[in-house]
Amino acid sequence: LVELEGDEGVRPVRVGDLAIGGGDLVLAAGPCAVESEDQVEAAALAAARSGARLLRGGAYKPRTRPGDFQGLGLQALRWMRAAADRHGLLVVTEALDPASCDEVAEWADVIQIGARTMQATSLLKAAARSGRPVLLKRGLSATLDEWLGAAEYLAAGGAPGVILCERGSRSFETSTRFSLDVGVIAAARLRTHLPILADPSHPAGRRALVRPLARAAIAAGADGLLVEAHPDPSCARCDGPQALLLDELEDLAREMADVGASV
């Protein structure tokens, strides 16, 4: 089996000319969901200006209710790819089921596996076969062992790279949407060579908490951040309250670099 454990330090995952976990902190930014060509273009422009290297955005969204906005699918993938290419960004987006992995892999540079499907083994195997590196969100109540077990499915299935992403756990606390687990970032760092990103947006649940959580994650040893940002959060079709305004991305990037330089 593929050995993911060991304390020899981070082994970077290469995506194009980017090395995630290669020493420079990496920022992935963009809307929760791709909603229109203009929206994703505005987000890509702001992301690139802030120094982000990846554009995030959902084409297929794992929503709580079937009546909730499910994403624009292939149209969203096309718009996001074009916006990313215009601004020299790489694309990271979620594949929700095994059937969509090949389509997502055709348009994206990194396949995201969401928290809700972290242990969907048929999805993990399909994502691994798609030929793209995979960003693996931690499940809402997954232990580090379970998270690394899921990563092992990807590595054993032939994924050319696996990037972990801590996005907060379900807890008793209601003042945040989820509880960002900075402890598991530090613990994972001691156990595996996989790069680790942090998503401060979903645990924050509201804009004002995103940057403090981002700083905490970097201080705990994360190799970068995956953040939601939207040109007009009040009109966002999902996760608007936690979306950064586009002109906040530069401040976030500067704080990320400042904290990173001090750890």
DSSP-derived secondary structure for the chain: ----B-SS---PEEETTEEETSSS-EEEEE-SB---HHHHHHHHHHHHHHT--EEE-BSS---SSTTS----THHHHHHHHHHHHHTT-EEEEE--SGGGHHHHHHH-SEEEE-GGGTT-HHHHHHHHHTTS-EEEEPPTT--HHHHHHHHHHHHHTT-S-EEEEE--B--S--SSSSB--HHHHHHHHHHB-S-EEE--HHHH-SHHHHHHHHHHHHHTT-SEEEEEEESSGGG-SS-GGGPEEGGGHHHHHHHHHHHHHH-
Q: Which stretch binds ligand PEP (CB under 6 A): 34-42, 109-117, 123-131, 183-191?
A: 109-117
35 or 199: CB nearest ligand PEP: 199
**Residue 62 contacts ligand PEP per CB under 6 A:** yes
Quote the tokens at residue 263: 């750890």
11 or 240: CB nearest ligand PEP: 240
**Residue 189 contacts ligand PEP per CB under 6 A:** no
63 or 129: CB nearest Mn ion: 63
Q: Which of 4, 44, 43 is nearest to 164 (CA)?
A: 4
**Residue 200 contacts ligand PEP per CB under 6 A:** no
63 or 87: CB nearest ligand PEP: 63
Per-residue x/- track, 208-247, Mn ion (CB under 5 A):
-------------------------------x--------
**Residue 137 contacts ligand PEP per CB under 6 A:** yes
Q: Which one of residues 58, 161, 205, 260 is an interface residue with ligand PEP (CB under 6 A)? A: 58
Q: Which stretch binds Mn ion (CB under 5 A): 7-15, 30-38, 186-194, 203-211?
A: 30-38
32 or 209: CB nearest Mn ion: 32
Q: Which one of residues 44, 115, 159, 204 is an interface residue with ligand PEP (CB under 6 A)? A: 115
Alpha-carbon distance 169 to 77, whole Å? 28
Partner interacting with residue 115 (select from Mn ion, ligand PEP, none; CB below 5-8 Å by kind)? ligand PEP
**Residue 204 contacts Mn ion per CB under 5 A:** no
**Residue 32 contacts ligand PEP per CB under 6 A:** yes
Alpha-carbon distance 65 to 42, whole Å? 28
Q: Which stretch binds Mn ion (CB under 5 A): 24-32, 140-148, 173-181, 248-256?
A: 24-32
Smallest distance, Å, CB 93 to ligand PEP?
A: 9
> How far is CA 179 from its chain centroid?
16
Partner interacting with residue 149 (select from ligand PEP, Mn ion, none; CB below 5-8 Å by kind)? none
Alpha-carbon distance 34 to 57, whole Å? 5
**Which residues of this chain interact with ligand PEP, rule CB under 6 A?**
32, 58, 62, 114-116, 137, 167, 199, 202
